[in-house]
Structure 1
Amino acid sequence: MHRKISRRDFMDGMAVAVGGAVAAGALSGCSAGSYGGIHNKVVTPPDGWTYAGAGNKSYPPAMTGLRGSVNPALRVPHELRDGIYWAGSKPVEDTGERYDLIVVGAGISGLSAAHFFKQRKPDAKILILDNHDDFGGHARRNEFRPNGNLLVGYGGSQSIEGPSVWSPQAKKLLADLGVQLQKFDRYYNQNFNKQWKLNDSEFFTRDLFSGDHLAVMQDDTQTARTLANAPMSAESKAAFLTLQDKPGDYLPGMSDEQKKLKLVDLTYRQYLRDYAKMPEEVLNYLQTYTSDEWGFGIDAFGAIDAWAEDYPGFGGLKLNRSKEPYKYCGPTIQIQWNEDDPYIYHFPDGNNGICKLLIGQLIPNTGAPQNMDAEPLARIDYSKLDVAGNDVRLRLSSPCVRVQHKGGDIDAGEVEVDFDRDGKVCRARASNVVMACYNTMIPYLMQDLPSDQKQNLFYGTKLPVVYAMVQLRNWEAWERLRIYHTRFTSGDWVVAELDYPVSFPGYQFSKDPSQPILVHMIRMATAPGDNPRGGVGPGRRDLFARPFSSFERTIRDQLTRLLSGGGFDPAKDIQAITVNRWGHGYALEYGRPWAPFWPDGPLPSVLGRTPFGRVTIANSDSQNRAYADAAIDAAWRAVSELG
């Protein structure tokens, strides 16, 4: 663990520590109190604001180290939040630019909004602003070049999930971009795990159990044999296997509806503890069961949603699963109620592929792909994204700092949009504005919003998450251990998995265990507790206070503990790391029991996204769902609301 990694071109000197001022409050989370109330606490920015990763800044996808929401992208938004940005003299420089539409935010939702607006007004002039040095929001591309050969991974939004139940507008956008889903039947190797005899697995960690232990599943299920050497008592193993294979009726004497309503009021952990009577060892073993998909553990995840997702423990209740979704289940579970799509609709760079195809239609001569097959190999020329004379201009590293109707009059025919460009405040004007940024920032940008609308926007805090892409020299250790994925019962990282086996014309996934591969690791940073909103602030503070070296060490540690039995050597086998840090990551999805207003309302997301004059609100958090189709749906709605 103390030996240097063989490739040091980005490792040496990477530990740009964001000092104690961060943990003390400078980056303490943008929720503005437990519910709302803008706070104006003045905090001096810590050292390290300039750190944005390592590599050629003119081509962000190939940068390594600590990426995602990098420090320069955070500085201005946090100064706005802390009430210090406008301190002193800040003259506004009028650029003279006038647009039909300005979009704040260049993620899937912002780019989709530009696309939908352009369809309605083909000659429209559009400016897209973003505070980051790359486009895509959480749909971020990570590139590596082992031995000079291109390897592509993703730093956030992962796949086109459940496309059969996407809205007509979202499906049409895919069609407009030339995304032919049937091609993934060929491009995604659905027999990869079977071909190499790889299995799912779980890793018992020594801080919760008597020691580390890798439990390799059989047909993606734990059995008495696969758990034989697991560091749990015989009683706990038997209890879990009963829960999984032959659960009892843990709510006897109740009708179908009474049982469901009881589950509505319980977290999954409460149900397992108080009704299924699972031992503490089983609760600890399952704590991270929901983390990578939902952003928090079983202590906050609703029992009603756990039942709907067929998690262990509900078969004995014999609940009726009707054709129509159960009303108290979460929004995504309701949308995907009857969906049975394979999880194969995945570009090598995840949903950044959608973003690149959008760029290809919006902005000419950037090198963006013009069709689906060209996407993995297409290289964007970032210098061509913001070119005078183009109908659509994308301006990165330009955080919006103020949005207001001309003269402060909501009935004015023009909106003034101020943004920071290299420390100067610049102003552009537009007939329409779509706020496709993190919704909790909007009250800081639009001071004239009604106070109750601000409060509802503040409620939509996002969950902190980290996606790491680790380039390995080979995957021989994985093949020897017969695993492709593992869930850790605790630790910095909840998941480690081989990248998805998808190949495109001219782009080939790793052919055999001797070749380089990317490993995807997930850290869900929400702190434990029965309400995920309460865990957001502590989790976010932890992320922003940690240097890259801390993430690097825990990656090396957990991969070594997981794979050492297969001959893995971190110093020799890890060749590069990109850590995509998202302090404002997953849009928090409403769910029982922690959100008692769901589903009958009033819903904070709906109240918060109310149009204000010529300004409408998009982004996935305005839909309270952390999915690409939610971001697209929000864009369609926001553009439609412009009239």
Structure 2
Amino acid sequence: MSENHSYEPVHSDRELGMDRKISRRDFLDGMAVAAGAAVAGGALSGCAAGSWGGLHSTVTSPPDGWRYSGQGDPAYPPAMTGLRGSANPAMKIPHQLRDGIFWEGDQGSRSVHKTGEHYDLVVVGAGISGLSAAYFYRREHPGAKVLILDNHDDFGGHARRNEFRPNGELLIGYGGSQSIEGPSVWSPVAKGLLAELGVEVRKFEKYYDQKFNDRWKLNDSEFFTRDLFAGDYLAVMDGDRQTAETFRDAPMSEAAKAAFLTLQDKPGDYLPGLTDEQKKLRLVGLSYKEYLRDYARMPDEVLNYLQTYTSDEWGFGIDAFGAIDSWASDYPGFSGLKLKRTEEPYPYCGPTVRLQWNEDEPYIYHFPDGNNGICKLLIGRLIPGTGAPATMEQEPLARLDYSKLDVQGNEVRLRLNAPCVRVQHEGGDVSAPTVNVDFYRDGRVYGCTANGVVMACYNTMVPYLMQDLPSEQKQALFYGTKLPVIYAMVQLRDWRAWERLKIYHTRFTSGDWCVAELDYPVSMGGYRFSRDPGQPVLVHMIRMATSPGYRDPRGGIGPGRRELFGSPFSRYERSIRDQLTRLLAPGGFDPARDIQAITVNRWGHGYALEYGRPWAWFWPQGPLPSVAGRRPYGRVTIANSDSENRAYADAAIDAAWRAVRELP
């Protein structure tokens, strides 16, 4: 993550195996990180509220070049490695639209070539929300003609599948949306969609090996990093806690160790003299860091140790995460306040905390490829003849034929590598019965028409595609800019080092990556997870790129995204190798020998921004920017997780259902 932008590897490139070819590279290995930083400071900035085009005169090329999209066969994107996710080609046209230079083109003003295609519905965006919208629309209107457009070379949005084949044996990972989290509190609509797709969540209780960590005696852990502390140190936890014994050799002062253990095990009443409601209202106005620093009086060492505590789940550190949600989530430091936890959620808690208030389900509802499994099942219902699965058990081994996604004559067509560039009612009249939809493909702009359009792309992209939206609605859409995040999948020769160190997961206190963990042990439908430490395995690594130091996380989104987009794949590979080596070398890990492949799923627009106190002053009373931004506009409606301000699959599904219902 970007907790330390000056992060430098401890080991040399040779020690890290940077000279070992894990796969063919279509970029300059010698590209200095400084060059990436130069780009980061240039035109690759995020969308800016209040301006819709004309921000820059040119779009600066990323370090690996606009054509670079990873390594492997483009005909089957899930098996490609290198820099994936929102790969460079998928970003070029949206950035040109943002900068107001797309329609000028390279050879003068662009013309639109009419395809003659007319659809009952066009969906912009092929993520969970877009595919669900197409499904819901077709369920309400059997036989309807639907076109789904996406600027990426793969479907699923952030729900992306990663495949590897060490020694010819299939390993499946996920490049984004992880799991069906808390299915018991999903809406009836979202639950109903899972049921219609044949997803029986209780089957995961058998498919997910819930005794895996116990059988191999693997534990959670935390890794103290040398840039914040006296040296690197792995603290293997006792269950879900640190103890005096696990902290014995940690590079913190004895006073700091004692302070944290007291905070964790026997915190005091840090808000004396206040009533229960007064205490809660005081927490509403504080970040978690402010509460720990100003009321619990934690020393700087403890604050540094905990900075990334919230990062992987919420997208930013304790300096921006709210104290009221930290209390509700049972984070360290609150039991001494003796606050009443009522049956109904506390109203000032964030949307997901409120939704999951009484939910206590294990985190096991997980396809091997994450929520791409849901997307593949949706494809199977929407487009015949693609090889998509018919059942959840078929999903892991089902291999789609991407050439069958956009076939003339099919009622539903999914067109990849085709960014939408404009959506406008016929003649600019919002009361017109037809909407013109223009998209870019193979160097030309094409136009089709539709009876209705669902915008299932990022909120911040909608104002650039719909220039005639009211200004206030554009401002509301811009508010929901997504948090930058990277999910990396690293193929290892084996996991002996993890077994020797007795860990399955670690949280880094700083560095490029805040989490490294063994992939989830799911076996289903003929697919088998690694059965012993001598077999290949995937390691999942998380980087939250929102820059620290901002009480409002929106302040850290732009700097973090610029740094993320300005970094070449070699930067990511180097830091992955370095942090894994620092973590695992005591267990015999050798990066040059043990790392066999890397897929970096970079999402400059990653997690949907979830409202939370203290920074979201309008929450929960409103008016909410997400509600103002998603208003229907003529025959165009908006569906995405941004519009629900929750970065979860059920939010994307709920948004799709709402958007379809709002169509004229």
Match of 1:139 in 2: 159
Match of 2:95 in 1: 78
**Letter of the aligned partner of 1:473 in structure 2?**
R
Match of 1:270 in 2: 290
1:64 aligns to 2:81 (yes or no): yes
Match of 2:348 in 1: 328
Match of 1:538 in 2: 559
Cα distance in structure 1, aligned partners of 2:40 and 2:596: 31
1:198 aligns to 2:218 (yes or no): yes
Match of 1:23 in 2: 40
Match of 1:413 in 2: 433
Match of 2:592 in 1: 571
1:8 aligns to 2:21 (yes or no): yes
Superposition map of 1:318-357 within 5 A = 318-357=338-377
User: Aligned in 2, Cα 1:551/1:266: closer, same or farther, shift over 3 Å?
Assistant: same
Cα distance in structure 2, aligned partners of 1:359 and 1:505: 18
Match of 2:407 in 1: 387
**Letter of the aligned partner of 1:620 in structure 2?**
S
Task: Please report how far the alpha carbon of residue 27 of structure 1 lies from its aligned counterpart in structure 2 after TM superposition.
Answer: 1.1
1:435 aligns to 2:452 (yes or no): no
**Letter of the aligned partner of 1:605 in structure 2?**
S
1:630 aligns to 2:651 (yes or no): yes
Cα distance in structure 1, aligned partners of 2:157 and 2:241: 35
**What is the CA deviation profile of residues 576-614 of structure 1, one whole-angstrom value per residue up to 9, with x for unaligned ones?**
000000000000100000110000011000000000000
Q: What is the RMSD of the two structures over their aligned residues, measured on CA atoms?
A: 1.3
Contact 2:27 2:68 in 1 (8 A): no
Cα distance in structure 2, aligned partners of 1:328 and 1:479: 42
1:122 aligns to 2:142 (yes or no): yes
Cα distance in structure 2, aligned partners of 1:6 and 1:354: 38
3-state SS in 1 of match to 2:103? coil
Identity %: 74
Match of 1:41 in 2: 56
Task: Please report how far the alpha carbon of residue 109 of structure 1 lies from its aligned counterpart in structure 2 after TM superposition.
Answer: 0.2
Contact 1:11 1:65 in 2 (8 A): no
**What is the CA deviation profile of residues 142-201 of structure 1, one whole-angstrom value per residue up to 9, with x for unaligned ones?**
000000000000000000000000000000000010001111011000000000000000
Cα distance in structure 2, aligned partners of 1:272 and 1:367: 53
Cα distance in structure 1, aligned partners of 2:303 and 2:402: 49
How many residue pairs end up in the alignment? Answer: 641
1:246 aligns to 2:261 (yes or no): no
| TM-score, normalised with respect to structure 2 | 0.95
User: Aligned in 2, Cα 1:258/1:578: closer, same or farther, shift over 3 Å?
Assistant: same
Contact 1:526 1:535 in 2 (8 A): yes
Task: Please report how far the alpha carbon of residue 13 of structure 1 lies from its aligned counterpart in structure 2 after TM superposition.
Answer: 5.0
Cα distance in structure 1, aligned partners of 2:57 and 2:326: 42
| TM-score, normalised with respect to structure 1 | 0.98
Match of 2:641 in 1: 620
**Letter of the aligned partner of 1:185 in structure 2?**
E
Match of 2:72 in 1: 55
Cα distance in structure 2, aligned partners of 1:612 and 1:123: 25
Cα distance in structure 1, aligned partners of 2:358 and 2:254: 38
Superposition map of 1:397-408 within 5 A = 397-408=417-428
Contact 1:401 1:419 in 2 (8 A): yes
Contact 1:51 1:70 in 2 (8 A): yes
Match of 2:3 in 1: none
Task: Please report how far the alpha carbon of residue 269 of structure 1 lies from its aligned counterpart in structure 2 after TM superposition.
Answer: 0.2
**What is the CA deviation profile of residues 9-49 of structure 1, one whole-angstrom value per residue up to 9, with x for unaligned ones?**
5254544768666323321112x14x666553212442611
User: Aligned in 2, Cα 1:81/1:12: closer, same or farther, shift over 3 Å?
Assistant: closer
Match of 2:5 in 1: none
Contact 1:400 1:418 in 2 (8 A): yes
Answer with 269-278 or 334-343: which moved more: 334-343
User: Aligned in 2, Cα 1:15/1:218: closer, same or farther, shift over 3 Å?
Assistant: farther
Cα distance in structure 2, aligned partners of 1:613 and 1:192: 53
Task: Please report how far the alpha carbon of residue 375 of structure 1 lies from its aligned counterpart in structure 2 after TM superposition.
Answer: 0.3
Task: Please report how far the alpha carbon of residue 620 of structure 1 lies from its aligned counterpart in structure 2 after TM superposition.
Answer: 0.2
Cα distance in structure 2, aligned partners of 1:68 and 1:298: 27
1:282 aligns to 2:302 (yes or no): yes
Match of 1:560 in 2: 581
Task: Please report how far the alpha carbon of residue 355 of structure 1 lies from its aligned counterpart in structure 2 after TM superposition.
Answer: 0.3
3-state SS in 1 of match to 2:539? strand
Task: Please report how far the alpha carbon of residue 573 of structure 1 lies from its aligned counterpart in structure 2 after TM superposition.
Answer: 0.4
Cα distance in structure 2, aligned partners of 1:457 and 1:25: 24
Task: Please report how far the alpha carbon of residue 5 of structure 1 lies from its aligned counterpart in structure 2 after TM superposition.
Answer: 5.9
Structure 2: gaps (5+ residues): 1-11
Cα distance in structure 2, aligned partners of 1:11 and 1:209: 37
**Letter of the aligned partner of 2:655 in structure 1?**
A
Match of 1:172 among 192, 215, 221: 192
Task: Please report how far the alpha carbon of residue 8 of structure 1 lies from its aligned counterpart in structure 2 after TM superposition.
Answer: 2.0
Match of 2:8 in 1: none
**Letter of the aligned partner of 2:72 in structure 1?**
G
Cα distance in structure 2, aligned partners of 1:71 and 1:442: 20
Structure 1: gaps (5+ residues): none
Contact 1:265 1:592 in 2 (8 A): yes
User: Aligned in 2, Cα 1:49/1:12: closer, same or farther, shift over 3 Å?
Assistant: closer
Superposition map of 1:483-632 within 5 A = 483-528=503-548, 529-632=550-653
